[in-house]
Amino acid sequence: MNGKRILLIIGGGIAAYKSCELVRLLRKQGASVRCVVTASGQKFVTPMSLAALSEDKVYTDLFDLKDEAEMGHIQLSRQADLVVVAPATADLMARMAAGIADDLATTLLLATDKPVLCAPAMNVRMWQHPATQRNIATLKSDGITVLNPDEGPMACGEFGPGRLPEPEAIAAAIAASLNTSRPLSGKHIIVTAGPTHEPIDPVRVIANRSSGKQGFAIAAALAEAGAKVTLIAGPVSLSTPAGVTRIDVEAARQMEGEVNAALPADAAIMVAAVADWRVDEAPSKLKKEAGPPALNWQKNPDILANLCAAPNRPKLVIGFAAETETAVEHATAKRLRKGCDWIVANDVSIDKMGGEQNRVHLITNAGTESWDRMDKTAIARALAQRIADALA
């Protein structure tokens, strides 16, 4: 982000306090940040804090004669490389979608000729309201990037989607928007992620342990690099990365159906921890009093192996292998058995599963490369780069 200029518009919501951290992070990554705070934003974060963190003047008023004499407010939006709205409140996005320019923030947003990225934050019901969803669809069709909010407990005591993404995630999305090198543009890539849930009866399932974080990070990194990404996700509580088409599934057979429906593709990365077995599903809840159930086990399809053998197989198919011991040895054999081009061996004996980091080995027909223990997002970006080289 060295030398990039970001105009950060801060709307009025409790999440505005996180914008201070965002300014600090962006500056640390070499960007310069100029802040505009709406009237309601100033109720949550003071221009003084933002001026100190950005080491620049903070703009608040459309009709400030002094500002206008120094620099016309339109200039403010023209001098930036990217305009970021964080937090983007329901009200601010509604005014943007309607083309209203009744304060400095909305005037700049209407006058800008630069890309705009919104990081929404609001109460879950406000987020889910059809009016908000309509406005977001309008903003997206106007070419504005709208990040998905995080899901979790809210300041108002409710739970659900609507939380401002963490400053690190917003900074990563900003870096991606500024990055004009898109080595995967024009490529379609399928990613599977998360566990599968195989029903035992209407209320019970058999599942694997998988947070889905590594697969989602890979989908995000591929989209950042310009690919059209179809992410087929088992049950996880993660928000959809920007620019990714997500299809939610429960069981392995459903996942395989969606993988096949998503073809053709240039590459497929199968990160999902698919259950190897399913059982015949009981039509109603099994009763405890009846004793341990006799489960009739069936083998699930091996989605990866079947895809590798398919006539319309993507050019590059990558498997994952979570192993607790002799990861490289097991994964090397698995690559040959399944017929995939590369396999990423994930040594789960070192890191607690579901954490933020992984230690992986990339196994190809050229041999094994052991990568340093890294954040899942860093692994994802490194892998995206390698995929871009292989598909070039």
Residue (163 or 213) nearer to ligand C5P, CB: 213
Residue (34 or 334) nearer to ligand C5P, CB: 334
Is there a catalytic annotation at residue 156? yes
First to last CA, the chain: 25
Q: Can you tell me which residue has the tokens 């939006």? A: 77
Note whether 303 binds ligand C5P by CB under 6 A. Answer: yes
Residues in contact with ligand C5P, shown as a per-residue x/- string from 138 to 177 under the rule CB under 6 A: ----------------------------------------
CB-based contact 83:114 (threshold 8 Å): yes
For 44, residues 6+ apart whose C-beta sits below 8 A from its C-beta are 12, 13, 14, 16, 17
Binding positions for ligand C5P, 173-212, rule CB under 6 A = 192
90-98 helix and 104-111 helix, angle to the nearest 10 degrees: 40
When binding is defined by CB under 6 A, the residue of 233, 321, 348, 383 that contacts ligand C5P is 321
User: Smallest gap, in angstroms, from Cβ of residue 327 to ligand C5P?
Assistant: 11
Distances (CA, A) of 57 to 30, 49, 353, 378, 383: 18, 11, 45, 34, 40
Note whether 300 binds ligand C5P by CB under 6 A. Answer: yes
d(CA 111, CA 105): 10
- β-pairing, 82-88 vs 116-120, is parallel
User: Smallest gap, in angstroms, from Cβ of residue 70 to ligand C5P?
Assistant: 57
Note whether 319 binds ligand C5P by CB under 6 A. Answer: yes
Residue (132 or 214) nearer to ligand C5P, CB: 214
131 burial class (0-12, 13-18, 19+ CB within 10 angstroms)?
A: exposed
Residue (33 or 221) nearer to ligand C5P, CB: 221
- Tell me the helices (H) and strands (E) count for the chain, helix number first: 14, 21
Residue (109 or 304) nearer to ligand C5P, CB: 304
Kindly indicate which of the ranges 13-21, 278-286, 297-305, 352-360 contains the residues binding ligand C5P, using the contact rule CB under 6 A. 297-305
Chain contacts with ligand C5P (rule: CB under 6 A): 192, 252, 270, 272, 274, 276, 300, 302-304, 319-321, 334
Residues classed as catalytic: 156
